[in-house]
Amino acid sequence: MTQHHPSAETEAHEAAADDRTMFGFWVYLMTDLLMFAVLFAVYAVLRNSTAGGPDGAELFSPTLALINTLLLLTSSFTIGIALLAARNGLKQQALVWFGLTFLLGTAFLGVELYEFYEIMHEGYNLRTSAFLSSFFVLVGTHGVHITSGLLWLGVTMYYVAKRGLNRSMVRKLSLLSLFWHFLDIVWIFIFTVVYLMAFV
């Protein structure tokens, strides 16, 4: 494949590969979404089963949840800008925006772990009540996704820095950004259903 004058045939071939890959990844995201939906259903059913323990209004901080939402929302925006830069072949610019996304994601994870630590520090954990079991599993599963997203982001950034931006690299970055936007959307529902609804 010649970089500067790709034939129409090659371009069509690559574009079709892009579409196939994106669709395949989309199917994965939808099955992942189904898993989250089940965890949401479990949480919705068990959220009042506190077994005499504390409920959400006692344990959660709406401010912390808002901070986390803003962090993840901003990271979803920066990864979008990063992908645009990557598509335009602006390697340095892309790396800066991906780096910013990485930092925001890490900060998000930090706040989440701090929240978990605070709850456990007060003597409550996964085993306290059905409510807390479902809470830790739902939010924890999202956290695990964020962690793997950060790992993926870190490795990809390393390869972009080392090998530069080619078509297949941009394809990988598109999947990564899709994954990240997806996690942001799931978080919006965690913010609403878990944190805000605890105070209704």
Burial of 5 (0-12, 13-18, 19+ CB in 10 A): exposed
Exposure letters 135-154 (e unless 16+ CB within 10 A, then b): bbebbebbbebbeebbeebe
Location of structure tokens 């910013």: 100
Q: How far, rounded to the nearest angstrom, does the alpha carbon of residue 7 sit from its chain's CA centroid?
A: 37
Confirm or reject binding of residue 89 to another protein (CB under 8 A). no
Confirm or reject binding of residue 69 to another protein (CB under 8 A). yes
Give 73-109 as a DSSP string. Answer: HHHHHHHHHHHHHHHTT-HHHHHHHHHHHHHHHHHHH
When binding is defined by CB under 8 A, the residue of 2, 4, 5, 8 that contacts another protein is 8
Q: Which is nearer to another protein, 95 or 130 (CB)?
A: 130
When binding is defined by CB under 8 A, the residue of 11, 122, 164, 168 that contacts another protein is 11
> Residue count at the site for another protein (CB under 8 A)?
48
Give the interface with another protein as residue ranges (CB under 8 A).
Answer: 8-9, 11-12, 15-16, 18-19, 22-23, 26-27, 30, 33-34, 37-38, 40-42, 44-45, 62, 66, 69-70, 73-74, 76-77, 80-81, 84, 87, 178, 181-182, 184-185, 188-189, 191-193, 196-197, 199-200
